[in-house]
Structure 1
Amino acid sequence: MSDLPHVWMRHETRASERRAPLVPEHAARLVSQGVQITVEESPQRVFPLAEYVRAGCRTAPAGSWVDAPGDQHILGLKELPDAPGALRHRHIFFGHAYKGQARADELLARFAAGGGALLDLEYLTDDSGRRLAAFGYWAGYVGAALAVLHRRDELPVPLSTLDRDELDDRLRRGAGAGGDALVIGALGRSGRGACDALETAGLSPVRWDVAETRDLDREALLGHDVLVNTVLVNRPVPPFLTPEDLDDPRRRIRVVVDVTCDVTSECNVLPVYTSTTSWERPVLRLRDGERPVDLIAIDNLPSLLPLEASHAFSAELHPHLLDLNGDASPWKRALRLFEDAVDSAHLPPAEETAHAE
């Protein structure tokens, strides 16, 4: 294997993003094995910077990754700031750029302009295509918990970081209330998390997975009070829920939770809304009247439980960071996927872009 990598963990610019892709405990393990890690200051990150210092990490001001040496792998979670326009590093984060999402071509063009690359965490997979690191369990858990609280008229607005024990106590206090629930994708990470939260709330969710969605029983789907979608698809499929379904007189659904939030993608299986909800406004009313239906579609749900979510994700990710500069196939696959996406978008390479400007 070649020289060990240099990892630079950036500050997240979204104010509600409190997670970390690498926690101090796992950073210390990597440092002990020779990995150089720089951690940016971040006022909202759930782990104090001092914990990373004790782990042997270097520190840097928030946003200083733009001037970092070119051999640094810039590690983050959510969207990059709009500047710089040309990205010269290899970035590791959830890019949301391969399924036709809004601004996807713009992001890819920034990498093409700077000669950098996107190593998308959503597509860091093993040989069978299974994701190696994911926040899915806690996304599903929090999404289903919010649905229960909203159905009981107990959802705090605006939302703020949750304490796991306090959240579970609140779910148990109203055990059984809130109607029945259907979880689609129940066998996956997110689905298991959603089912666990619902069971904590005293509910026994109906569990659907591939077999049930292959030949969808629409009347059965509409016959539940709460619908939690945890299915992440990588190609267009017939939608699970449509605007026409919301107007169907058979509909019992009162709360829809979309954990995957593929709202701007052609792979969206719930084309009943056009923008995500937020911590400030977690609920969107889709239909009013005598049979209202509300939507919760927050695209960083696990950040509401940042400690649990960060520890779980970092435990899965950090062993693979050792091989960033080596021949490990997961990173090679992620790089090939990026290169194919740039080629498909017909973007000019960095030197041609510079010449044109």
Structure 2
Amino acid sequence: MAETLNNHLWVRSEKKANERRVAIVPDDAKTLLEAGYKITVEKSAQRCIDIQKYADVGCEIAEEGSWTNAPKEAFILGVKELPEGDGELVHRHIYFGHVYKDQPGWQHTLNRFVNGNGTLYDLECLVDEGGRRVAAFGYWAGYAGAAVAVKIWAGQKMGNVPPLGRVDSYPNVDALLSDLRGQIQMIGEKPNMIVIGALGRTGSGATDLGLALGMDITKWDMAETASGGPFPEIQQHSIFVNCILATPECPRFVTSEDIKVADRRLSVIADVSCDPESKYNPIPIYNRSTTFDAPSISVVSEGTPLDVMAIDHLPSMLPLESSEDYSRQLLAALIDLNEPEKGIWGRALNDFRKNLARL
């Protein structure tokens, strides 16, 4: 099929450190090719899937980072933020923009779109008619977030300072579970865990990780937090995994006063939702994200320690499973990308325009 205005998808390489995910995997790319799309995939030194697998299904291959020279009509598909800079953005981009909640630099990024007459279809804004997201990495974010929390807890028990060094990705979930089980066996005890937002995708992932390790888990959602707090029960769990997005209605789950109790058992907070710079941060005892290289922030070092983990691309710890899962969810939306003013894509476009009006 000849290239038309809306049938060219360009899969760019990721520049964020330790980001190994991809939004579309070869099997689903093949489905799009069969539906008449043209797909270009950039080479990548860190992507979890070898570039040859894309070539084998018929994708065109481009050099890493060459999306800036892609045809203007192409949709540039990525996962995380674009490389920093001042260059005009002339294409139609699809990725997690992180610019609609007043995050640092949001105005600069949106102005790059204005100056280049480009467009952002934010992956977080791809929703159905009922407002539910059609594709999300949430499950694997929760799974990986709970896993990192267990690793930090184990490091605390072993007396490590900091409790955990660099976090690496795993080839698959079985390798991750084997590693965690070995650490727990070495320590000779298991942590207990409370998951808030347990009924959602992210909370389900965190819960499943805990169940796979045989941990005692307390599952909370909106009903259990409707009182608005305080929530002293949280302090009686070794690990707290937050899976609730920061909103004006969200209560404060853990404050500096809450952690002063003498019988605190809580020693690790995994803030999977990770919105520390928001004024609605439900865990206002820390104010910056953490990274794969430095995964935790020490909040309390004396007595019972307390460390916070807030990595904002946790699914990269399990890049293959999370990419396959996300690609499967996103595929139905991508099939309809040839009508970018309608349906799911039209709603994301409206969100983009609304936020441009805030500049």
TM-score when normalising by structure 2: 0.91
SS in 2 for 1:152: helix
Instruction: Give deviations 1:288-347, integer Å, cap 9, x for gaps.
Output: 1112101111111100101100000000002211212315411111110110001022xx
Instruction: Give deviations 1:47-91, integer Å, cap 9, x for gaps.
Output: 111111111111111111111111111100111112352111111
Aligned to 2:357: 343
Aligned to 2:93: 91
Report the CA distance between 1:222 and its aligned residue.
2.0
Task: Evaluate the alpha carbon distance shift between residue 86 and residue 208 of structure 1 in structure 2; reply closer, same or farther with a 3 A threshold.
Answer: same
| Matched-pair contact (CA < 8 Å) for 1:21–1:77 | yes
Choose from 329, 335, 359 the match for 1:316.
329
Q: Which runs of 5+ in 2 are unaligned?
A: none
Aligned to 1:263: 276
Choose from 162, 166, 169 the match for 1:158.
166
Note the 1:221-260 alignment, pairs <5 A. 221-235=234-248, 237-260=250-273
Report the CA distance between 1:248 and its aligned residue.
3.6
SS in 2 for 1:97: coil
| Matched-pair contact (CA < 8 Å) for 1:148–1:198 | no
CA distance in 2, matches of 1:55, 1:156: 40
Instruction: Give deviations 1:78-127, integer Å, cap 9, x for gaps.
Output: 11112352111111111111111111111111111111111111111111
**How many matched pairs?**
344
Aligned to 1:68: 70
Aligned to 1:354: none
| Matched-pair contact (CA < 8 Å) for 1:99–1:234 | no
| Matched-pair contact (CA < 8 Å) for 1:101–1:266 | no
Aligned to 2:177: 168
CA distance in 1, matches of 2:86, 2:27: 32
Task: Evaluate the alpha carbon distance shift between residue 344 and residue 84 of structure 1 in structure 2; reply closer, same or farther with a 3 A threshold.
Answer: closer
Task: Evaluate the alpha carbon distance shift between residue 233 and residue 132 of structure 1 in structure 2; reply closer, same or farther with a 3 A threshold.
Answer: farther
Q: Percent identity?
A: 42
| Matched-pair contact (CA < 8 Å) for 1:93–1:119 | yes
Aligned to 2:344: 330
Instruction: Give deviations 1:167-212, integer Å, cap 9, x for gaps.
Output: 1123344378332110000000010000010111111210010111
Instruction: Give deviations 1:238-275, integer Å, cap 9, x for gaps.
Output: 32222222334353210000111111223322222121
SS in 1 for 2:257: helix
Q: Which amino acid aligns with 2:180?
A: L
| Matched-pair contact (CA < 8 Å) for 1:236–1:266 | no
Q: Which amino acid aligns with 1:342?
A: L
CA distance in 2, matches of 1:214, 1:113: 44
TM-score when normalising by structure 1: 0.91
Task: Evaluate the alpha carbon distance shift between residue 84 and residue 324 of structure 1 in structure 2; reply closer, same or farther with a 3 A threshold.
Answer: farther
Residue 115 of structure 1 pairs with residue 117 of structure 2: yes
Instruction: Give deviations 1:150-174, integer Å, cap 9, x for gaps.
Output: 2122776222111311211233443
Q: Which amino acid aligns with 1:214?
A: A
Q: Which amino acid aligns with 1:291?
A: T
| Matched-pair contact (CA < 8 Å) for 2:230–2:252 | no
Task: Evaluate the alpha carbon distance shift between residue 106 and residue 285 of structure 1 in structure 2; reply closer, same or farther with a 3 A threshold.
Answer: same
| Matched-pair contact (CA < 8 Å) for 1:76–1:92 | yes
Q: Which runs of 5+ in 1 are unaligned?
A: 346-357
CA distance in 1, matches of 2:280, 2:64: 34
| Matched-pair contact (CA < 8 Å) for 1:102–1:265 | no
Report the CA distance between 1:4 and its aligned residue.
4.9
| Matched-pair contact (CA < 8 Å) for 1:66–1:84 | no
| Matched-pair contact (CA < 8 Å) for 1:172–1:202 | no
Task: Evaluate the alpha carbon distance shift between residue 72 and residue 232 of structure 1 in structure 2; reply closer, same or farther with a 3 A threshold.
Answer: same
CA distance in 2, matches of 1:113, 1:63: 21
| Matched-pair contact (CA < 8 Å) for 2:139–2:205 | yes
SS in 1 for 2:89: coil
CA distance in 1, matches of 2:68, 2:342: 26
CA distance in 1, matches of 2:113, 2:259: 41
CA distance in 2, matches of 1:103, 1:97: 8
| Matched-pair contact (CA < 8 Å) for 2:232–2:258 | no
Aligned to 1:77: 79
Q: Which amino acid aligns with 1:230?
A: C
Choose from 153, 175, 181 the match for 2:193.
181
CA distance in 1, matches of 2:191, 2:356: 47
CA distance in 1, matches of 2:60, 2:266: 51
